[in-house]
Amino acid sequence: MRREGSGRFSSVSGAVLVGGASRRMGRDKSRLEFAGAPLATRTAGLLETLCEDVLLVGGDPPADAPGRRVPDPDGPRCALRGLVGALEAARGERVLVLATDLPLVTPDLLLGLIAFPHADAVVPRDAAGAHPLCAIYRRESVLPVARDTLAGERLAIRHVLDAVETAWLEGDALRALDPRGRALANVNAPEDLEAVLAG
């Protein structure tokens, strides 16, 4: 978990999943403007402050989004396919995976995930449920399981979490990192974006 001289982690890659269908939003969420920048650009920029290796997985990310462009692997269009793509392409031992539609995610929460006692997967869980698209995964142990799960067309990431050692960041530990309870708010639909913008 050492940081190099740049202050960024070399053993943790950061990956933004930008290949979602955005059906409920009606347009590409990675290009939605938030605080003056497309969501994918903001999310990748945040990861770039923490990780030496940043990936933009799938979709058509904005040109100004920092990171390596990585195509989704073959398979049905789903978040699991993006997770497999991220794990396959990452250079780090662990991969901090973020959906593109988390405009309020904070460095504190991401650093908490990185520092949390190691497991194959570390996933926040709150009253709304688990958040596997704001989580950290150990590449070596999770990738073969994720590939097999995708090949078997069991497309929910929970099937992967059930099959590996998963630790949950929840309760007081999560509240300490996200005292306002807003960092995991995602914007799946126009009304979600309006609520986030309204504060």
State pLDDT tens for residues 138-170: 999 999 999 999 999 999 999 999 999 999 999
CATH number for the domain harbouring residue 121: 3.90.550.10
With 80 as the cut, is the pLDDT of residue 56 above it? yes
Q: Average pLDDT, stretch 101-113?
A: 95
State the average pLDDT for the chain. 89
Q: Round the CA-based radius of gyration of the chain to a whole number and report it.
A: 15
Domain that holds residue 96: 9-198
Q: Average pLDDT, stretch 90-97?
A: 98
Distance between CA atoms of 1 and 8, rounded to whole angstroms? 10
Provide the pLDDT confidence category of residue 118 given band limits of 50, 70 and 90: confident
- Residue with tokens 């053993």, as numbered in its chain: 11
Tell me, yes or no, whether 15 lies in a domain: yes
Tell me, yes or no, whether 153 lies in a domain: yes
Tell me, yes or no, whether 32 lies in a domain: yes
What pLDDT sits at residue 195?
61
Burial 49-88 (b: 16+ CB within 10 A, else e): ebbbbbbbbbbebbeebbbeebebbeeeebbbbbbbbbbb
Tell me, yes or no, whether 81 lies in a domain: yes
Provide the pLDDT confidence category of residue 2 given band limits of 50, 70 and 90: very low
Provide the pLDDT confidence category of residue 189 given band limits of 50, 70 and 90: low
Positive/negative CA dihedral, 48, 13, 118, 146:
positive
With 90 as the cut, is the pLDDT of residue 1 above it? no
Structural domains of the chain, count: 1
Torsion (CA) 46, 49, 53, 57 in degrees, nearest 10: 10
With 80 as the cut, is the pLDDT of residue 125 above it? yes
Judged on CB neighbours under 10 Å (0-12, 13-18, 19+), 169 is buried
Task: Give the CA count within 13 Å in the CB-facing half-sphere of 183.
Answer: 24
**Which two three-digit tokens encode residue 49?**
């402050």
Tell me, yes or no, whether 26 lies in a domain: yes
Tell me, yes or no, whether 3 lies in a domain: no
Tell me, yes or no, whether 2 lies in a domain: no
With 90 as the cut, is the pLDDT of residue 108 above it? yes
Spatial contact of 41 and 64, defined as CB atoms under 8 Å apart: yes
Provide the pLDDT confidence category of residue 187 given band limits of 50, 70 and 90: confident
What pLDDT sits at residue 193?
60
Tell me, yes or no, whether 4 lies in a domain: no
Q: Give every CB contact of residue 14 below 8 A, 6+ residues apart in sequence.
A: 44, 47, 48, 50, 51, 53, 54, 55, 67, 95, 96, 98
Spatial contact of 185 and 39, defined as CB atoms under 8 Å apart: no
Spatial contact of 90 and 83, defined as CB atoms under 8 Å apart: no
